[in-house]
Structure 1
C-alpha cells in the first residue's frame, strides 16, 4: 500500500502544474457555462451566448489535462517541456478569458471580428494565444518522439495522438482565411467587419446542430478541427483500453499487437480529419454527405478493419511454434 501511494505521488509530482491549474479553471468555467445556458436566454449568431464557453471550457480542459500528463512522460529535456507547457497554459488561459470578456460581458462576436479597434485587438490576442499553443504543442510532440517510454503501445498512442492533434489544430488556421466576398472587399481597400469564417459557402449564423453549431446547410471547418483536436485523448485512452482487454484476450497480450492497433486507429483518424476537411471545403454539410464522401468513408473504415485483422494475424503467426516434422528411416 505504501509502495502504491509512493508511486502515485511520484507520478503526480511529474504532472505539469500550470496546465493542471488551467485545467481546473477551464472545467469550472465549463460548469458555470452550463448554468448560464439555463439562466441566461441571450443568443449570439443564432446560438445561446454561453454555448461556446461550455464547449471550449470542457474541450480545452481535456486538452490541457492530457498535455500535462504527456509532458510528465519526458525523461530528457524536461525543463524545455515545462516551459513549453507553460506557454500552452498561458495561451489557453488567454483564449478563455478573452472569450468571456468578448462574448459574455460585451455580447459581441469572438472569432474573425474586426468591427472596431477593441474587436480587432481581442481577435489578434486570441490568434496569438492560439498559434503560440500550437507551436509549443508541436515542439512537445517532437521532444516526445525522442523519448523512450515504458510501453510501446503507449508510446505509439502519445506520439500519434500529438501528430493527429496538430493536424486538427492546423485545420483551424484555414478558418482565418478571408472568404471570396471578404477578399473582394479587401482588394478594393474596404475593411470588412468580419475576416474569416467557420462556414464554407454559408454564413456563420446559419442553421446549425444544437450546442455544437456545425452548419447543417454547408461546409464547416470546425468538424475536422474537432475530430483532430481530441486525438490527444482518444488514442492514449485506446491504448489503456487495449491493455485492460489484454488481461482477458490472449491476442492482445503482446505490446506490439497493441502498438500496431493504435497505429491503425491513428491512421484512420488522420484520414478522417482529411476527409472532413475535404468535405467542408466543398461546401458540404457533415450531415449531408454525398456519394464520394460516403465511398471515401467506407474505404477508410475498410482499411482500418483490414489493418486490425492483419495486426492480429501477423503477431499470432510470429508467436505460433513451427510444426515439428518427423522423418522415419526405411530400415527398422
Structure 2
C-alpha cells in the first residue's frame, strides 16, 4: 500500500500541537477581539488544518500515476498552511486582526503574505483535486464520494474570494483600515454564535466556507460507514443522493449568507427551500432502497487492481 503523504502528515501533527496551545490560550489569555477570545481563531484554523492535512495525505496516497507531481502539490499545500497559521498566530500575539487588516504597513504586509499563501493553496488544491478526480477507487460508491467531495470542497474554498472585496461602507470611508469582510449586511465583529462566531444579525460567508470545505471529510466518511451494504448499486445511489443533498445544503447556506441572513434566523423563503431539499432526500432514500425488479442476488464490485501489482504478475 502506498504511504500517506509525509509532509502533510507532519503539517497535521504541527497543527494538532498548535491547536492544544491555542486551546490553552482561550482559557489563559483573557484578551478579546471582536467579542470573542483572541485565541479562538487560531484554534479553529488549526483544527481545520488537521482535518485538511490528514484528508489530503490519504487522498494523495490513492494516486497510482503522477506520484511525483502529487508529492510536490501536497508539499506546497503543507507549506502554505504552515505560513498561514504562522501569520494568524503572530497577529494574535500582537493583539491584531489577521484578516482584512491594513492598519499599518506591517499589518498590510502580513495580510498580503497570507493572501498569497491562500491563493497558492487554492491553486494547488485544484490541481491535486484534478489529479484525484479521475482516479478510480475500490468501488463506484467510493469513487463518487471522493469526486463529489472534491468538487464541493473546492467550491467551499472558493467562497473565501467573496470575502475579499471592500464593503460599500468601507469604500465610502477613505480612512478605513479594514478592507473586506466575512459578514454580509452588518459589520464584522457583531453578535455571533458561541465558539463559532458566525453572525447572528446578518449573513456570514464563513458558514458556506466551512460546510463546503468539509465535504471532503463528510462524504468519504459516509462511504466508509456504508461499506457494510453488499449491494453496490444501492450503496452508489445512497452516496449520490447524499452528495446531491450536501451540495444543495452548501448552495442554500451560500445563498442565505449573500442575502444578509443569519444562519440561525432563516426567513420563510429559506425555510421553504430547505424543506424542499429535505423532502427530496426523504423521498429519494427509500426509493433507492426498494428491491429492483428481477434482482436475483446483491451486486458486488471487485476492487480495482493496483496496476503495479498487475505488472509484477505479468513479469
TM over 0.5: yes
Q: CA deviation at 1:191?
A: 5.4
- The yes-or-no answer on 1:43 pairing with 2:32 is yes
- The yes-or-no answer on 1:235 pairing with 2:219 is yes
- The yes-or-no answer on 1:52 pairing with 2:41 is yes
SS of match in other structure, 2:22: helix
Q: CA deviation at 1:117?
A: 0.9
Contact 1:176 1:195 in 2 (8 A): yes
132, 137, 151: which is aligned to 2:120? 132
Q: In angstroms, what is the RMSD of aligned CA positions?
A: 1.4
Alignment partners' CA distance in 2, 1:179 and 1:209: 22
Distance 1:303 1:119, change over 3 A: same
Aligned to 2:201: 217
Q: CA deviation at 1:25?
A: 0.5
Aligned to 1:85: 74
Aligned to 1:152: 140
Alignment partners' CA distance in 1, 2:175 and 2:156: 29
Alignment partners' CA distance in 1, 2:38 and 2:294: 57
For each residue in 1:233-252, what CA deviation from the matched residue of structure 2 results, as whole angstroms up to 9, or x when unmatched? 11111001011xx2xxxxx3
Alignment partners' CA distance in 1, 2:109 and 2:28: 30
220, 235, 239: which is aligned to 1:258? 235
Alignment partners' CA distance in 2, 1:49 and 1:278: 29
- The yes-or-no answer on 1:206 pairing with 2:206 is no
- The yes-or-no answer on 1:307 pairing with 2:284 is yes
Alignment partners' CA distance in 1, 2:117 and 2:69: 19
Bigger radius of gyration among the two = 1
For each residue in 1:269-326, what CA deviation from the matched residue of structure 2 results, as whole angstroms up to 9, or x when unmatched? 111111111111111111100000001111111122222233223x6336248xxxxx
Structure 2 unaligned residues grouped into runs of 5+: 298-315
For each residue in 1:16-38, what CA deviation from the matched residue of structure 2 results, as whole angstroms up to 9, or x when unmatched? 11000000001111111111111
The count of residues paired between Structure 1 and Structure 2 equals 297
Contact 1:33 1:53 in 2 (8 A): yes
Q: CA deviation at 1:135?
A: 1.3
Q: How is 1:1-332 mapped onto 2 (pairs within 5 angstroms)?
A: 10-11=1-2, 14-103=3-92, 105-185=93-173, 190=174, 192-243=176-227, 246=228, 252-313=229-290, 316-317=292-293, 319-320=295-296
Alignment partners' CA distance in 2, 1:265 and 1:238: 9
Q: TM-score normalized by structure 2? A: 0.91
Alignment partners' CA distance in 2, 1:29 and 1:317: 55
Contact 1:76 1:147 in 2 (8 A): no
Q: TM-score normalized by structure 1? A: 0.86
Contact 1:224 1:273 in 2 (8 A): yes
